[in-house]
Amino acid sequence: MAARLASRSVRASLIHSLLRLQPRPAWGRRFPARASSTGLGPAMLPSSLARCEGFVGGRWVRVAATFPVRDPASGAELAQVADCGVAEARAAVKAAYVAGAAWSAVSAKERGALLRKWYDLMIENKEDLAKIITAENGKPLKEALGEILYSASFLEWFAEEARRTYGDIIPSYAKDRRILVLKQPVGVAAIITPWNFPSAMITRKVGAALAAGCTVVVKPAEDTPLSALALAELANQAGIPAGVYNVIPCSRQQAAAVGEVLCTDPLVAKISFTGSTATGKILLHHAAGTVKRVSMELGGHAPFIVFDSADVDKAVAGALASKYRNSGQTCVCTNRFLVQKGIHDAFVEKFAQSIKKELRVGNGFDEGTTQGPLINDKAVEKVERHIDDAVSQGASIVTGGKRHSYGKNFFEPTLLSNVTTSMLCTQEETFGPLAPVIKFNTEEEALAIANSANVGLAGYFYSRDPAQIWRVAERLEVGMVGVNEGIMSAVECPFGGVKQSGLGREGSKYGIDEYLELKYVCFGGLQ
């Protein structure tokens, strides 16, 4: 088989044989009734995208054990999904490794064409993919659709970048030699993704990996595996060859063991992880044994600074978008608001008014909802703990402050004033709809507070002073800076942090480099 894969003369026919679609039963998966302000009704997801098995080597794989995926809005069970373990993880790695020789030999143009087909299918199925996200993640359907478009854009982008992995020719130190630099795929990449963007966090990594010529094993978050499996279905339909894209969903109980396999198996060359800093450190420890390539997007603790020179109305609009998107459950959402004393009171008043006017808590499937549920009980409890701690130390609740009557995982968008740096909400990432406001006096004070964290993913500030804009943008210790902007993620831009917020960059022209190795070739004897 290896000899056949190496032959250019049979490559085209081989690729077509690998592009086979697997037979599947013609049944849909009916999801339980979901409570809604408009009444009760069954939510039927399309049979073509609702999958609950693992996907290994181009085949849907059933396993003996399953685990439940629940709607965070109601707690209802959405599906029982295959609980893959160590054996399935090793099988997926082996399938990816075996497929790697053929995939890396496919021309960059052909790889790009397949990624483009996958993109086209995502766009054709965008409404159904968005419904899956809202069902398992809870975010409003409009936000979920936005995520799908964002997610698909990474496949489109890296379909084009596949042909731009340029090497180099270096002037030689000797006249009878030529020096070349090649870029080659690192090999099998293990992709471990979070629940807050269950589609986009996959394509941002996988698009780059496949474009580079790598194969992948995806371990999605246990709360949101259905989106990853829907992507597998579409990848299969697009003709992504068997073994190139593998998905092994697993329960929280299996996650540690599966993660360890992915980080220690010698056939895996690369780890890409998005999640907490604590988990990232564990994975780094595991990966060190075989010295794997690693890229990580870890915890954030984003500051949002509003200087006296800022346009307050624009700052409030940016604050609302930055803080409350996905109910505050994004790695780049603002966690600490620092407002200069000259405009502090006006900002807090207008921010509170905007929260009350613009935000609506409800089921993600209900029209008009802007704030869905938090992902689970633990997330709600952390928000409550941060509020209780702040209030006990003198903070004031301007609006919100408690669970919403809609359901146990729903929380009121909350604004706190009189916040100090000794409070938990300014020391830890809340990951919920809580906006604590700290009053500051000088630019130096604001920068000292903003840079005091041991993480540095994103930071934001509002100012109309050009000199101040340059000073603060250069001095903020973060990987991404929004100047007079509250949302800045885009496929064209490098996404990543500094300090303990991670390693490497995703998206942009730099993202594909995370999956490529440089090879120096010295071509001698040319006299």
Cite the active site residues: 297, 331
- Dihedral sign for Cα 408, 412, 418, 422, please: positive
Quick count: other Cβ atoms within 10 Å of Cβ 410?
A: 22
In 3D space, the residue among 421, 496, 416 whose CA is nearest the CA of residue 451 turns out to be 421
Q: Is 191 helix (H, G, I), strand (E, B) or coil?
A: strand
Q: Quote the tokens at residue 483.
A: 């100047």
Task: Return d(Cα 416, Cα 401) in angstroms, integer.
Answer: 8
For the chain, what is the total number of helices (H) and then of strands (E)?
15, 24
Residue found by looking up tokens 């685990």 in the block:
67
In 3D space, the residue among 70, 455, 501 whose CA is nearest the CA of residue 275 turns out to be 501
**Which residues lie closer than 8 Å to 128 by C-beta, 6 or more apart?**
45, 46, 48, 49, 230
What's at 443, amino acid-wise?
E
Q: Are 337 and 420 in contact (CB under 8 A)?
A: no
Helix (H) or strand (E) holding 181: strand 178-185
Q: Give alpha helix (H) positions in 365-450.
A: 377-392, 443-450
Quick count: other Cβ atoms within 10 Å of Cβ 341?
A: 11
Task: Return d(Cα 143, Cα 124) in angstroms, integer.
Answer: 17
Q: Are 219 and 193 in contact (CB under 8 A)?
A: yes
- Write the CA distances from 485 to 221, 414, 459, integer angstroms: 30, 21, 10
Task: Return d(Cα 11, Cα 104) in angstroms, integer.
Answer: 12
Strands annotated E in 187-228: 188-192, 215-219
Task: Return d(Cα 497, Cα 456) in angstroms, integer.
Answer: 6
Task: Return d(Cα 243, Cα 238) in angstroms, integer.
Answer: 14
What is the torsion angle, in degrees rounded to the nearest 10, for the CA atoms of residue 282, residue 283, residue 287 and residue 289? Answer: 20
Q: Are 401 and 385 in contact (CB under 8 A)?
A: no
